[in-house]
A and B are shown apart, each in its own frame.
Chain A
Amino acid sequence: MKRITATKATTIIKNVRKTSNISAMYHDFGGSSTHLLDDALTSTTNFTVPYGIDPVESLKEFTNPKSDVKIHFDHGTTTLAFKFQHGVIVAVDSRATAGPSIESQTVKKVIEINPYLLGTMAGGAADCAYWERVLARQCRIYELRNKERISVAAASKLLANIVYNYKGMGLSMGTMICGWDKRGPGLYYVDSDGERMSNNIYSVGSGSVYAYGVLDSGYRYDLSVEEAIDLGRRSIYHATHRDAYSGGVVNLYHMKESGWEFISQTDVFDLHYQYKAEKEKK
């Protein structure tokens, strides 16, 4: 299927036709005034796009602080993951913000794709939740067709390729796909710009700068499990302390050869006093 990229040359805006997922069949606009409704009723794979308008421009209205319409999507976060000798530690905060308001302190930002694959959520909450759910479905289909578990590299590539089709349309998603496959522990960073990279340490989100500081200064490949868990928790805590858009509780997962294990959920409030007491003891 052809993909015609939209290039804005001076005043010309071409219609953007994406692959399977968008039905750009609005030519029969003649009599059908209910096509938007039909779309919603019958389509499960099509995205409704305003006819004749570049969706990126129209959506910019919503995120531009100077615009009159202020429709806010849930955003903002700190997530981190790192590989070490005993697997992968995944730690996330749990705050969702919509503009200046805290929408929730109890968001689940780690999406359990299957018992040996985890995806983290950073950026637009709806984008991450939806596409990682699509990824879970694709991984299951792969498993059924090939009678073996999908590798982390393949899963992350699936996701990267899916979102690349929507590049430029305003998706906001920064996710880390973590798992354990034949090659050992796997950690990939995938985002809505089409990036897909693998490394040992990643932190994503508005609070990632703070988390990196703590993470980098305490990281060694040969950490023990308790030390790694403590490092992950501490890094998220420091990020939530300084970043307004992160907070709530720290959710921690440990990815082992036998699959992921949910370690703990600790309120950042409690961690604050715990670390304070530790500092005072010294």
Chain B
Amino acid sequence: EDFVVVGSDTRLSQGFSIFTRDLPKTYKLTTSTVLGACGFHGDVLTLTKVLNARLKMFEHEHHKKMTTSEIAAMLSTMLYHRRFFPYYVYNLIAGLDEEGKGVVYSFDPVGSYGSDGYRARGSAAAMLQPLLDNQIGLKNQQNVQRVSLSKEKVVNLVKDVFISAAERDIYTGDAVVVHVITKDGTTTERFPLRRD
């Protein structure tokens, strides 16, 4: 496929209190890469700050934008340099690679990473990942043909996934921000979720 879709909910909470309903956890890094970061929000903020600074430094030095795989490798070493005092952040990098194909990299808090076709991260990840495995990875389905998914289908799937998460996870809800990254740029959509 030649596009990537990444979405996050917008609720920020601690324990049983909600701090705000309008805090997307996705951050645009370049025109073709979006970072999704969840976990401890303080570390998320610092990590994105440092990441953006490093991106700028790279551009100044090399006169070109960092590609998705370069960002992923850099993030991995950045996270590992805090191996003994980790960033409590679970990261996802979604973007287009050099050939224009969509790619998703997922990270653990200390920098181990790999590229997957799809990934769910966060408090409801354990509920959502199996749904994605079934719908996108076509796991545990007999006699199915692998059809390439269209943009609309994927966006609707992401919406459904978040609606399901909001139903059963107390930390997910309020609204969802969905980014669709194609070679023509990144479009952002926002739609509401259960506020309870």
Residues on A facing B (Cβ under 8 Å): 36-37, 39-41, 43-44, 46-50, 55, 58-59, 62, 69, 71-74, 96, 98, 101, 103-104, 106-108, 124-127, 129-130, 169-171
Contacts and interface: CB of A to CB of B under 8 A. Distances in A.
* 6 tightest A-B CB contacts, nearest first: A125-B112, A126-B112, A55-B84, A126-B110, A126-B111, A40-B50
Interface in B50-106: 50, 53-54, 57, 76-86, 88, 106
30 contacts: A37-B49, A40-B50, A41-B54, A43-B81, A44-B77, A46-B81, A47-B81, A47-B84, A48-B84, A49-B84, A49-B85, A50-B84, A58-B84, A71-B88, A71-B109, A73-B110, A74-B108, A74-B112, A101-B126, A104-B106, A106-B114, A107-B114, A126-B76, A126-B108, A126-B110, A126-B112, A129-B112, A129-B113, A169-B84, A171-B83
B84 A130 contact: no
B53 A98 contact: no
B76 to A, nearest CB: 8
A171 B111 CA distance: 13
Interface residues of B, number: 29
Contacts of A48: 81-82, 84-85
A262 to B, nearest CB: 17
Interface string B113-134: 1101000000001100000000
A107 B108 CA distance: 13
Tell me what chain B mostly uses at the interface: helix, strand, loop, or mixed: mixed
Given A47-B81, A124-B110, 9 more contacts: A40-B81, A41-B50, A55-B85, A69-B88, A106-B114, A106-B116, A126-B110, A126-B112, A130-B77
B46 interface: yes
B50 A130 contact: no
Contacts of B113: 129
Contacts of B86: 62, 71
Contacts of A130: 76-77, 80, 83, 111
Nearest to A40: B50
A103 B126 contact: no
Given A71-B86, A72-B108, A108 B114 contact: yes
Interface string B22-51: 000000000000000000000000100110
Contact of B78 (A40, A71, A127): A40
Given A37-B50, A41-B54, A126 B84 contact: no
A126 B84 CA distance: 12
Nearest to A98: B108
Contacts of B80: 126, 130
Contacts of A98: 108
B111 A59 contact: no
Given A74-B112, A106-B116, A41 B126 contact: no
